[in-house]
């Protein structure tokens, strides 16, 4: 069928082109060559038909620009022939002929001619022309020096470079480099690289950056645009909770909801009464839970799930909270208005009891270096202890309430506690400055983000507020939907880069929101009593634990089915008890 096209009458060809013109003006991209023309698209001078052609469904992309950056990408990838062919076929040249001449002159080292061409290209900005000339003449200068034509180089400096009257400090450096080209002053050896000739291709790159992009397309422009799109997609991915996913150009990136833990994997039933508090260790290898049954339990996390490691008994009162030492080797437990106990995690032994005569502890926390312990006391003060029990400092006054959390920022400076019904105190130990987060409703609990920049505050009116505590205190987001009427319900940050908020609720569901948008993603059923506390494994974004009045702890993870469908690269946790 080879000879057919040659015999085709001119009119038929014209029809083809008008067909394609129509397609173009409808805004749809050219997909395949139209049937009947095996020679592909015809080339006609697009410039003459106006650079107003657009491609893409939104009509945002100018065709000329699109083709030019593709051509540039082809050349950068090394496909010279394809690049040249595209230029020919589309009739859209990558660079104007003057620019091509300019580029050739640079690479050949015809400096004076290149400057003439530069002026001919027709740039409007005087400064750009001067800066570009400066770069070119600098190259000429250095190449002359390399050839040991010192007087010629000096001449270039005096008669061509200096009169440009820009960048005087560079002119200074250049004259100094004439004086001692090879044996530089010892102190100047640092400047060596800027004081010798660079390769001509590098010079061309520098010039490309200087000249406006319409004249010379910047390097790697197409790659930059694509990467921009990928980054945006990742940012917009609501359920982005998995590092495994590689981004592909074939489809928009979107993690499915299957990346959020939503299935009960395990039910832990070792407590004899309501489970009030739980928290994963910093390394995610352990979970500690505390209960109304006056005991705390350390669970070990491994490939098969969680198993009971130690049951810590000794408190005479129910344990309201626990706190992991920064190195996860010790655990503090706090009895309700009672004492603090410090336990060794590996042996389960009680290492120390911290008490104050006639008073009871209400909260506990560690200094970031693990050397000191902080505790809230029911006389509204906060105390600081050495590990051996010696009391170091005590902040009196209205520092904390009988029911309050206690957090210390990881720089050891700020102590955070609920000091009044509607206010949280941020006390800076070093600067001796106090800040207050004030709310309209009663605050019941709070949680500090891992980067210490945000505080999640639970309120009586069933709202969770996210505050920015870096710099000025600012309310950032609100999360609603869960139920809280009578008890303390706790919430936490979690997931990849703490992009999610999880909370317990009195309707026995576990609630999960997307932190950035505030959208409620999941409400997980399973418990048969109020869910008091949740904790997201810091080392495993797919594991969530919840503690409930139904005396159980539930471990939530990814949906079994999708886990199996995934490639063999699993997170190391085999799923058992996949049913709710």
Interacting residues toward other proteins by CB under 8 A: 150-151, 154, 157-159, 161-163, 168, 171-176, 178-180, 185-188
Q: How far is the CB of 206 from other proteins (least distance, A)?
A: 21
Residue 360: which of 377, 384, 383 has the closest Cα? 377
Residue number, 187 or 303, with CB nearest to other proteins: 187
CA distance 291 to 524: 22
Shortest separation between residue 139's beta carbon and other proteins, angstroms: 17
Residue 288's nearest CA partner among 272, 271, 303, 273 is 271
Q: Which is nearer to other proteins, 159 or 214 (CB)?
A: 159
Query: Long-range pairs for 121-124 at CB < 8 Å and ≥24 separation?
Result: 121/96, 121/215, 123/211, 123/212, 123/215
Q: Least distance in Å: CB of 186 to other proteins? A: 6
Min. distance of Cβ 199 from other proteins in angstroms? 25
Q: Which is nearer to other proteins, 167 or 462 (CB)?
A: 167
For 191-230, the DSSP string reads: GGGGGSPPPHHHHHHHHHHHS-TTTSPPTTHHHHHHHHHH
Query: Least distance from C-beta 110 to other proteins, angstroms?
Result: 24
Least distance (Å) between residue 154 CB and other proteins: 6
| CA pair distance 349, 491, nearest whole angstrom | 30
Distance CA 112, CA 154 (A): 16
CB of 493 within 8 A of CB of 232? no
Closest by Cα among 315, 266, 243 to 497: 243
Residues forming a β-bridge with 447: 456
Report d(CA 375, CA 356) in Å as an integer: 11
Helix (H) or strand (E) holding 118: helix 111-121
Min CB(111)–other proteins separation in Å: 18
Measured CA to CA, the distance from residue 240 to residue 262 in angstroms comes to: 15
- Least separation in angstroms between residue 141's CB and other proteins is 10
**Nearer to other proteins among residue 1 and residue 151 (C-beta):** 151
Environment class of 267 (CB within 10 Å of its CB; exposed 0-12, middle 13-18, buried 19+): middle
- Residue (178 or 255) nearer to other proteins, CB: 178
**Closest distance between other proteins and the C-beta of residue 195, in Å?**
12
In the bound state with other proteins, the residue whose beta carbon lies nearer, of 164 and 499, is: 164
Q: Helix or strand or coil: residue 363?
A: strand
Q: Cα(530)–Cα(551) distance, rounded to whole angstroms?
A: 10
Nearer residue to other proteins within complex by CB, 4 or 187: 187
Query: In the structure encoding, which two tokens stand for residue 279, read together?
Result: 């928290």
Cβ at position 159, least distance to other proteins in Å: 6
CB nearer to other proteins: pick between 158 and 329: 158
Smallest gap from Cβ 173 to other proteins, in A, equals 8
Alpha carbon distance 347, 350 (integer Å): 9
For the bound state, the minimum distance from the C-beta of residue 130 to other proteins, rounded and expressed in Å, comes to 16
CB-CB neighbours of 146 under 10 Å: 12
Task: Write down the H helix ranges in 262-301.
Answer: none
* Short-list 351, 306, 307, 360, CA closest to 325: 351
d(CA 508, CA 514): 20
- Shortest distance in whole angstroms from residue 137 CB to other proteins: 12
Q: Token pair of 513, please?
A: 């929101």
Give the residue with the Cβ less far from other proteins, 192 or 307: 192
Give CA–CA dist 557/578, Å, rounded: 9
Residue 101 near residue 95, CB atoms below 8 Å? no
Residue among 18 and 186 whose Cβ is closer to other proteins: 186
Q: What's the number of CA atoms in the CB half-sphere (13 Å) around residue 530?
A: 16
Which CB sits closer to other proteins, 154 or 255?
Answer: 154
575 and 560 in contact (C-beta within 8 Å)? yes
Nearer to other proteins, 173 or 337 (CB): 173
């Amino acid at each position: 069928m080879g000879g057919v096209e040659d015999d085709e009458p001119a009119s038929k060809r014209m029809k083809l082109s008008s067909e394609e013109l129509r397609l173009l003006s409808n805004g749809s991209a050219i997909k395949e060559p139209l049937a009947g023309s095996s020679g592909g698209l015809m080339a006609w001078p697009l410039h003459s038909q106006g650079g107003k052609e657009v491609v893409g469904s939104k009509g945002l992309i100018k065709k000329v620009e699109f083709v030019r950056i593709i051509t540039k990408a082809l050349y950068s990838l090394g496909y010279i022939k394809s690049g040249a062919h595209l230029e020919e076929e589309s009739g859209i040249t990558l660079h104007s002929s003057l620019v091509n001449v300019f580029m050739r002159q640079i690479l050949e080292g015809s400096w004076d001619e290149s400057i003439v061409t530069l002026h001919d290209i027709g740039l409007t900005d005087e400064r750009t022309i001067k800066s570009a000339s400066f770069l070119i003449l600098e190259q000429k200068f250095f190449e002359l020096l390399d050839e040991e034509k010192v007087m010629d180089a000096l001449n270039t400096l005096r008669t061509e470079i200096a009169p440009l009257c820009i960048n005087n400090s560079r002119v200074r450096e250049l004259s100094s480099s004439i004086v001692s080209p090879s044996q530089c002053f010892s102190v100047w050896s640092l400047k060596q690289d800027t004081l010798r000739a660079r390769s001509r291709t590098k010079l061309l790159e520098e010039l490309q950056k200087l000249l406006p992009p319409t004249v010379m397309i910047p390097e790697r422009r197409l790659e930059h645009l694509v990467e921009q799109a990928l980054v945006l997609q990742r940012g917009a991915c609501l359920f982005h909770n998995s590092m495994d996913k590689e981004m592909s150009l074939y489809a928009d990136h979107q993690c499915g909801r299957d990346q959020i833990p939503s299935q009960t994997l395990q039910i832990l039933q070792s407590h004899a009464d309501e489970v009030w508090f739980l928290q994963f260790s910093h390394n995610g290898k352990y979970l500690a839970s505390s209960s109304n049954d006056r005991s705390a339990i350390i669970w070990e996390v491994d490939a098969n799930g969680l198993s009971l490691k130690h049951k810590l008994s000794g408190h005479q009162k129910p344990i309201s909270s626990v706190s992991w030492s920064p190195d996860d080797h010790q655990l503090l437990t706090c009895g309700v208005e009672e004492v603090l106990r410090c336990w060794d995690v590996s042996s389960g032994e009680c290492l120390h009891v911290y008490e104050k005569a006639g008073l009871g502890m209400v909260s506990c926390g560690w200094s970031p270096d693990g050397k000191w312990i902080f505790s809230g006391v029911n006389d509204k003060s906060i105390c600081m202890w050495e590990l051996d029990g010696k009391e170091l400092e005590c902040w009196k006054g209205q520092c904390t309430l009988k029911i309050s959390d206690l957090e210390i920022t990881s720089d050891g400076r700020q102590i955070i506690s609920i000091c009044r019904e509607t206010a949280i105190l941020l006390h800076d130990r070093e600067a001796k400055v106090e800040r207050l987060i004030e709310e309209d409703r009663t605050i019941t609990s709070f949680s500090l983000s891992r980067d210490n920049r945000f505080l999640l505050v639970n309120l009586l009116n069933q709202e969770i507020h996210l505050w920015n505590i870096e710099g000025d205190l600012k309310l950032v987001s609100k999360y609603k939907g869960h139920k809280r009427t009578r008890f303390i319900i706790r919430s936490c940050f979690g997931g990849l880069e703490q992009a999610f908020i999880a909370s317990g609720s009195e309707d026995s569901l576990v609630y999960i929101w997307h932190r950035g948008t505030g959208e409620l993603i999941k409400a997980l059923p399973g418990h048969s009593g109020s869910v008091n506390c949740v904790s997201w494994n810091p080392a495993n974004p797919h594991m969530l634990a919840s503690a409930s009045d139904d005396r159980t702890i539930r471990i939530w993870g990814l949906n079994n089915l999708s886990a199996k469908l995934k490639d063999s690269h699993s997170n190391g946790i085999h799923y058992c008890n996949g049913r709710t």
